[in-house]
Amino acid sequence: MVGMNDMSKTYYPPRARWYSPVFYFWSWLRRRLRVESIPLPSAANVRCVLLGVLLPGYACAAYGHGKIGRAIYRGYALASAVFILWLGYSISSLALGIMISLHVASVLYLIGRRSGELAFRRRVALSLAVFSTVYLCIYYPLQRQFEKWVAMPLRVGNKVVMVRPHVLAGAVKQGDWVAYRMDSLLRENVYLAAGLGFGQVQALAGDRVVFTPHNLQVNGGLFPRRALMPVNETWVVPEKHWFIWPDSAISIFGNSQNDAVARLMRESAMVSESQFVGKPFRRWFWRRQTLP
């Protein structure tokens, strides 16, 4: 005789698999684009489908078009190298576009094998949806993580400086060049836009900075004056701060009255360690970096 507990176990539904969200998203996308003729992959070939979605060229190679798959592999590898070597330049953006296009073409080939004839409008809509999904779900997050942990391109004037982001603020010394975050400031109709600054650390926490009409003195050492620096003033750099006079490349918008601009630049000259982003690489592969 079967007990009530045994009967409840008999009708207990199976647990969802780890890859179930992929199928849920695909079902939603099919309904939105009205491409119900594209069947879902079976559990037997789900691995092949996932690799075809994640690896550019894999779908072509797996389904009998080895030459096309190898061509996509090589083109993708070349574009990846150009993208990394020339980060921050226009050619790097072009290489990223080629990488995404090859990836999208591979995914569309995989979808085309599993779909019937679709109307032209639906094919265009599907292509745009795949392109947006591949970029937003794969390339945009990877690019952000690369800039956070590996290298960040920073345009300074008319050139690009590659910054190493994963550096301890305590390792910064006087004379080092650093990249740092800047908050927006608005003073007397003069606006300093938020963004990234890049400058040389001229004084560390506890250092005595003396401004004179002829030069800048840091702990007795003499340095040339910079534009709009104060005159006949003495500052002491606070704890966990650096003295970095804002570079002239920083864009300041608004009524450019010298007094208002000078006051705004003075406020931004004390940079907290919490604003620190990173230090520039000495070399980026074979390119030796030249600093301002």
Same domain, 230 and 103: no
Phi-psi region of 88 (alpha: psi -120 to 50; beta: other; left: phi over 0): left
Range 183-209 average pLDDT: 84
210-248 tens-digit pLDDT = 999 999 999 989 999 988 888 889 999 999 999 999 865
Same domain, 125 and 76: yes
Token pair recorded at residue 93 = 């953006």
Residue 182 and residue 166 in contact, taking contact as beta carbons nearer than 8 Å: no
Range 200-204 average pLDDT: 95
Provide φ and ψ at 51, rounded to 5°. -65, -35
Averaged confidence pLDDT in the chain: 82
Q: Is the pLDDT confidence value at 124 over 50?
A: yes
Number of domains composing the chain = 2
With respect to residue 77, please indicate whether it lies within any of the assigned structural domains: yes
Among 102, 179, 165, 174, which Cα is nearest to 134's? Answer: 102
Work out the pLDDT band at 125, boundaries 50, 70, 90: confident
Same domain, 284 and 182: yes
With respect to residue 27, please indicate whether it lies within any of the assigned structural domains: yes
Report the pLDDT value the prediction gives residue 44, as an integer from 0 to 100: 43
26-36 tens-digit pLDDT = 566 666 655 55
With respect to residue 161, please indicate whether it lies within any of the assigned structural domains: no
Report the pLDDT value the prediction gives residue 201, as an integer from 0 to 100: 95
| HSE toward the beta carbon, residue 78, CA cutoff 13 A | 8
Same domain, 142 and 210: no
Same domain, 8 and 138: yes
Token pair recorded at residue 155 = 């345009």
159-193 tens-digit pLDDT = 899 999 988 998 899 999 999 998 877 766 677 77
Q: Is the pLDDT confidence value at 52 over 90?
A: no
Report the pLDDT value the prediction gives residue 249, as an integer from 0 to 100: 46
The parent domain of residue 8 ranges over 4-150
Token pair recorded at residue 53 = 């979605």
With respect to residue 72, please indicate whether it lies within any of the assigned structural domains: yes
Same domain, 136 and 263: no
Same domain, 19 and 134: yes
Report the pLDDT value the prediction gives residue 20, as an integer from 0 to 100: 57
Report the pLDDT value the prediction gives residue 209, as an integer from 0 to 100: 95
Same domain, 27 and 139: yes
Same domain, 263 and 132: no
Residue 202 and residue 241 in contact, taking contact as beta carbons nearer than 8 Å: no
